[in-house]
Amino acid sequence: MSIATDKMMPLPGVIEPRWWTGTPALPRESFTIDCSQFSMDDGDLRPDSELSRQMNAMYDEVGLLYLINTGLNDLQTMRAFATLVVKDEMRYQGGANPRDDLQANVYEVGAPLQAWLHYHHEMAYIGQSTKLLGFLCHKAVRDKGFTFVSDNLRATEAILATEFGQKLKELGLCYHRNLTDRDAFAGTEQIGVYNHWQKSMLTDDPDEAESVARSRGLEIEWGPNRLLKTRYYVSAFEYFPMLDRNVLYSSVADDAMWFDAWPKVMHLPYDDRPLKLTFGDDSELSREEKSLFVDIYDRFGIPIEWNVGDIAIICNYRFAHGRPGIHLKDDEERELGVLIGEAYERVGDLADKW
């Protein structure tokens, strides 16, 4: 199967993801339910319905669920079906990178379509993460705009078999974020901006912003022009209670290279970009280590080939997710709604769960 990834011209020295090997890491039938066999009416929305039973059994078994041929085109109806599995939705309380609402309780993706989004685990860079995500396909373009997921259980085994993986296990990571001040950029073109701290922390008060940041496990420091610098030291892995084992829970998505194809930020030198990833002792990751980090996830990639009405539920422990850049023609639209699942406090890895 050939899938167009709508590649842009890579920049010199950039490590561009491959996304997959050309063969899905899991057979499609292991995580897909064809909903043409169901009415997709109120009866199927009952928690005790056959559809609900199949959805929850497949999600529990695999950690990935993909509903196709739903016949749905309304985000709120899609959300209702997704919540048969995503039962406890997170309400954004500040500290993370925020998303705007598409509709009530349905968020936008929160990134420019032109930029590729490296494989990542949602909200790994703060103390409160999420257990799962839901994606709702509202608008789609044939043969492009796909999302990719990577089998994180196999990625964990693969990275731990390397010297780099053992280094991650020993040193952990530090997530560096530099949040700009909205007022400092007032009236200017928003060049080099990722998130203003006012939007990320949901406050205009610097003291309250500090309080929110610390409540999310972040160390903070103020820089010039009220630049809010946050630091989060944590394991590169996370204990997953369901399988009683540590799993990989980090990627280059939280490094400056996240912006290699990001309009209005990609021109900045790495040291001036809003994100940076270092080892937990503040030492730098080498280019070779970052390249291996990207490659590990690419080895176990699986495409989600969106059509309108499709719904995907992704376990944030068992799968990473990302996508290539997307360049639409004037008459094309691509829109996914996002559900953020149940929140939990990160514990990092447990010493006896390797």
50 contact partners, CB below 8 Å, separation of at least 6: 38, 44
Give the residue-averaged pLDDT of 264-276: 88
Is 3:143 a contact under the CB 8 Å cutoff?
A: yes
Residue 99 has pLDDT above 50, yes or no: no
Is 169:237 a contact under the CB 8 Å cutoff?
A: yes
Percent of the chain with pLDDT over 70: 90
Amino acid at 100: D
Give the residue-averaged pLDDT of 131-144: 92
Closest CA to 348 of 171, 215, 178, 224: 171
* 5 — pLDDT class (breaks 50, 70, 90): very low
Second CATH level (architecture) for the domain 28-345: 4-Layer Sandwich (3.60)
Closest CA to 193 of 132, 280, 265, 126: 265
Using one digit for the tens of pLDDT, what is the confidence trace for 59-95?
Answer: 999 999 999 999 999 999 999 999 999 998 866 555 5
Residue 39 has pLDDT above 50, yes or no: yes
Closest CA to 34 of 337, 309, 300, 302: 309
pLDDT of 152: 98
> 25-34, 77-86, 207-216, 229-238: which has the minimum mean pLDDT?
207-216
User: What does the alpha-carbon distance between residue 255 and residue 174 come to, in Å, rounded to a whole number?
Assistant: 10
Phi/psi of residue 295, nearest 5 degrees: -65, -40
Phi/psi of residue 214, nearest 5 degrees: -65, -35
Strand locations in 125-264, DSSP E?
128-130, 132-139, 147-151, 173-179, 219-223, 227-234, 237-240, 245-248
* Residues belonging to the chain: 354
Is 234:178 a contact under the CB 8 Å cutoff?
A: no
Tokens of 140: 């789609």
User: What does the alpha-carbon distance between residue 260 and residue 16 come to, in Å, rounded to a whole number?
Assistant: 9
182 contact partners, CB below 8 Å, separation of at least 6: 196, 197, 198, 199
User: What does the alpha-carbon distance between residue 45 and residue 297 come to, in Å, rounded to a whole number?
Assistant: 35
Using one digit for the tens of pLDDT, what is the confidence trace for 221-241?
Answer: 999 999 899 999 999 999 999
* 263 — pLDDT class (breaks 50, 70, 90): confident
pLDDT of 7: 47
Amino acid at 127: G
Strand locations in 180-329, DSSP E?
219-223, 227-234, 237-240, 245-248, 275-279, 301-304, 311-315, 319-323
The DSSP letter of residue 196 is: B
Burial, 286: exposed, middle or buried (Cβ in 10 Å; 0-12, 13-18, 19+)?
A: exposed
Please report, for the chain, the start and end positions of each structural domain, with discontinuous segments joined by +: 28-345
* 11 — pLDDT class (breaks 50, 70, 90): low
Percent of the chain that is helix, strand, coil (3-state, to 5): 25, 25, 45
Tokens of 151: 């089998």
User: What does the alpha-carbon distance between residue 84 and residue 149 come to, in Å, rounded to a whole number?
Assistant: 21
Across the chain, what does the average pLDDT equal? Answer: 89
Give the residue-averaged pLDDT of 140-165: 95
Is 230:179 a contact under the CB 8 Å cutoff?
A: yes
Distances (CA, A) of 338 to 22, 41, 216: 26, 22, 22
* 188 — pLDDT class (breaks 50, 70, 90): confident
User: What does the alpha-carbon distance between residue 97 and residue 125 come to, in Å, rounded to a whole number?
Assistant: 10
pTM (2 d.p.):
0.90
pLDDT of 105: 47
Is 79:136 a contact under the CB 8 Å cutoff?
A: yes
